[in-house]
Amino acid sequence: MTALAHERPKTMSEASAAIVNVPDLDEVLWQAWKAMELPDGYRAEIIEGAIEVSPTGRLTHAQITNRLRRALDRFLDGGEHACHQDTNVIHKRKGWIPDAFVAPEDLEPYADEDGLGVEASAVHLVVEVVSPGTRNQDRDRVRKRREYARAGIPVYVIIDDHDGEGAVTLFTGPRPDKADWEDIHRVPYGTEVTVPEGPAKGFVIGEAITGPKRG
């Protein structure tokens, strides 16, 4: 007869230690994201438990984004804050690249521990200009809306060519525990929206930035 060898069963403490040593999904994604090398014209973000790679926006997207950046720079000129682009915003092993955001002009004191971007706690306003395509629209309207609320960023603005004839939606009063916002104000292109708080308080988003109604 052949004797079968049996492994000694793990104790609860040993099993717990093994579980503790297994990296969680956020950490795995974070390490993978840091190691990514993308071709020019693409960017990668960590959004709700997934790495999303997307191309830079089309011409109309770039035009709106650049008009917004220039207008915000003029509005903020002489103060301690500025409009930034092409910079990672970091929050709890998540990384986003807003089309524009307002934060201190000198970002160095607010860099994350890996030096990859700026901590979300230093950001007062984020703006996304929606690109065509269902996935792109869902990213800015739904997934990033929830992520920015979780991060407690005070103001989120969506400029959306693909919402009816074009619309601007202003989100304020983030609820991190609910991943949503206390106040949501949507207006069609042609109606002005005013930022209600923060360094950009009083900044107006209207046709000079969005252009006229679409369609």
Could you give the domains of the chain?
58-91+98-210 (3.90.1570.10)
Mean pLDDT of 77-102: 97
Contact of 99 with 161, CB cutoff 8 Å:
no
Using one digit for the tens of pLDDT, what is the confidence trace for 143-161? 999 999 999 999 999 999 9
pLDDT at 32 over 60: yes
Answer whether residue 25 shows pLDDT above 60: yes
- Please state whether the predicted TM-score (pTM) of the whole model is above 0.75: yes
Q: How large is the average pLDDT for residues 191-213?
A: 97
Instruction: Reduce the DSSP state of residue 25 to 3 states and report it.
Output: helix
Per-residue pLDDT at 187 exceeds 70: yes
According to the model, what pLDDT value does residue 20 have? Answer: 54
The total number of residues shown for the chain amounts to 215
Condensed to tens digits (0 to 9), the pLDDT of residues 62-83 reads 999 999 999 999 999 999 999 9
User: In the numeric block, which tokens belong to residue 15?
Assistant: 């099993």
What integer pLDDT is reported at residue 52 of this predicted model?
93
- Separation between Cα atoms, residue 185 and residue 195, nearest integer Å: 11
Closest CA to 81 of 205, 209, 201: 201
Q: Does pLDDT of 215 surpass 50? A: yes
DSSP designation for 74: H
